[in-house]
Amino acid sequence: MRDRHRKNRILAGAIGIAALAGCGGGSDDGSASGSLTAESLIDNDIIAESSGLARSRLSDDRLWTHNDSGGGPSVYAIDTRGHYLGALKLRPALALDWEDMAGFEEDGQSRLLLADIGDNSAIRPFVTLYVVDEPMPSSDPAPFELSAAPLRSITLIYPDGPRDAESVAVDESSASIFVLSKRDAVPQLYRVPLQAALPLVIAEALGEITIPRAEAGSEGADSFNFTTAMDISADGRTLVVSTYSHAYRYTRSGDEDWPSALLRAPSSIRLPDYAQIEAAALAADGATLWITSEGAPAPLARLDFD
């Protein structure tokens, strides 16, 4: 279900600055590390509550997004300037509360992961992940209308009880899906096998990540604290976690795994003052971040890291 955190954004930014100041100086300590370089509007109002975003692995100029709860089991292709390209409907699939998506390669194929994981009240006994092949780009300028059956679905149970979550990412190197909780005092990280042997999986709890926090209960704290998106770059070196107000960039080196890398303080970038930012996708090399926000027409922004 949808949250509405459209107020107190200026105050949330002030809280964020104060919290980040306590992290020290340097590139991996919470300091600012990037800038807004382009803004546009998605030119089709069918995308009114953009709640997930994924970069295509078949075209550098294509992104995928989907609507929030009630939007139906469809994903929509846009280019990086916000031009609508078409829709892919998953049949059969449910969309109780789709909250994020990811693009990845598997067995030499480009695929999309759709995460029906939203649970504001933390009451769902299980949530669902869908994997589907990404359609090839079309040379036809007219918007496409396609449908496809999911390759597989994964029914996910958290080992410590229901969690509200809006953030997923796929790590190809470990064939893992990472899920990050939204409302805990400190976000909790979970891992699920990308190619689960059974359709029902109990996620592995990996513990907390390191991320700036605002004081619970203060005005604007939820906008600063709630995690709403996550992505891993195609080169596997960069991971971004987004809130309504900031994006946090983590990097790993050598054979380091992501649970270890996420224990270091990230660098950060202030996000535009949009209504409700719940979707983020990284470029292949991790140097560029695209974000969208709920609203019609939906804004699309590009931010480049230093």
Write down the domain spans for the chain.
9-305
- In percent, the amount of the chain with pLDDT more than 90 equals 80
> Could you tell me if 9 and 223 are in contact, meaning their C-beta atoms sit under 8 angstroms apart?
yes
pLDDT greater than 60 at residue 14: no
Place of tokens 């075209």: 59
Q: Which fold has domain 9-305?
A: Neuraminidase (2.120.10)
79 confidence band (pLDDT: 50, 70, 90)? very high
Q: What residue ranges in 74-213 does DSSP mark as E strands?
A: 74-79, 84-90, 98-106, 109-116, 127-133, 144-148, 152-157, 165-171, 176-181, 188-193, 200-202, 204-208
Model confidence at 26: pLDDT above 70: no
Residues 238 and 251 sit within 8 Å (Cβ to Cβ): yes
List pLDDT tens digits, range 39-77. 999 999 999 999 999 999 999 999 999 999 777 899 999
pTM of this structure: 0.89
Contact of 165 with 148, CB cutoff 8 Å = no
Angle at 112 between CA 2 and CA 249, to 5 degrees: 70
